[in-house]
Every structure is written in C-alpha cells, then in structure tokens.
C-alpha cells in the first residue's frame, strides 16, 4: 500500500540512451512533481503536473519530457542521456489543486540514475 512508488529504483545506462522512470501515487492527489537531487544533495524541482496538465516547467533540458496519462501517474522520459544526468530523481505528490505553499508533499523512494 505504498503511497508514492517509483520504478525502477536503480537505473544504470550508457550515454546517449533513452530511458523512462515511472511514478504512481495512490493518494488521490491532484498534483505530482519530479525533483532531481544531485551529488551535492541539492533538491531541485523539475516539473509539476496538476490533473494531467503541466503547471511548473523549470529550466531543464528539453531532453526531459514528463508524461501524465492520468492524475495518478507521472512518468519521466529522458532522451539522449548525458553524464550530468546522473542523480537521484524523486517523484512526489500533493493534494492541492493549484500548488500552494501549504501543500504537503509526499515523496517516492527515488530512482538512482547512473549514466556511464
């Protein structure tokens, strides 16, 4: 009965490959997010979706494309992987319709991506 789940937990791949990370939440939340945590542990928001619509799109390369088939899922597809993409990617969700600073976010366990 995991609230926010991600697959895979670990992903090791070669430069130039295309990969996807899946995220699902069973909390009935309206908003989902993708964060990137680099080796220095900075946690930076990448995308936010509300009811399948993109709300936040931070300055990330367009090689990263989020896809939300329904409001319980937010997948992250990455094209032409680069060494600098190596990081831990966290999915999160929150109840709010329009994100506000009062929303509590629930994070998934993370996906550690290693690009060789």
Partner 1 sequence: LAKTTQPISMDSYEGQEVNITCSHNNIATNDYITWYQQFPSQGPRFIIQGYKTKVTNEVASLFIPADRKSSTLSLPRVSLSDTAVYYCLVGVKTGANNLFFGTGTRLTVIP
Q: Which residues bind partner 1 (CB under 8 A)?
A: 4, 41-45, 48, 55-58, 90, 92, 98-110
Contact 12, 4 (CB under 8 A): no
Strand ranges in the chain using DSSP code E only, listed in sequence order: 4-7, 10-13, 19-25, 31-37, 43-50, 53-57, 64-70, 73-78, 87-94, 106-107, 111-115
Instruction: Give the nearest distance from C-beta 60 to partner 1 in angstroms.
Output: 13
Instruction: Give the nearest distance from C-beta 48 to partner 1 in angstroms.
Output: 7
Instruction: Give the nearest distance from C-beta 44 to partner 1 in angstroms.
Output: 8
Q: Which is nearer to partner 1, 15 or 27 (CB)?
A: 27
């Amino acid at each position: 009965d995991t609230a926010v789940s991600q697959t895979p937990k670990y992903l090791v791949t070669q430069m130039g490959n295309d990969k996807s990370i899946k995220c699902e939440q069973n909390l009935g939340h309206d908003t989902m997010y993708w964060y990137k945590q680099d080796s220095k542990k900075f946690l930076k928001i990448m995308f936010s979706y509300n009811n399948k619509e993109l709300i936040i799109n931070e300055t990330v390369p367009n090689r990263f494309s989020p896809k939300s088939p329904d409001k319980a899922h937010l997948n992250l597809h990455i094209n032409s992987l680069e060494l600098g993409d190596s990081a831990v990617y966290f999915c999160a969700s929150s109840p709010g319709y329009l994100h506000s600073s009062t929303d509590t976010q629930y994070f998934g366990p993370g996906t550690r991506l290693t690009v060789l």
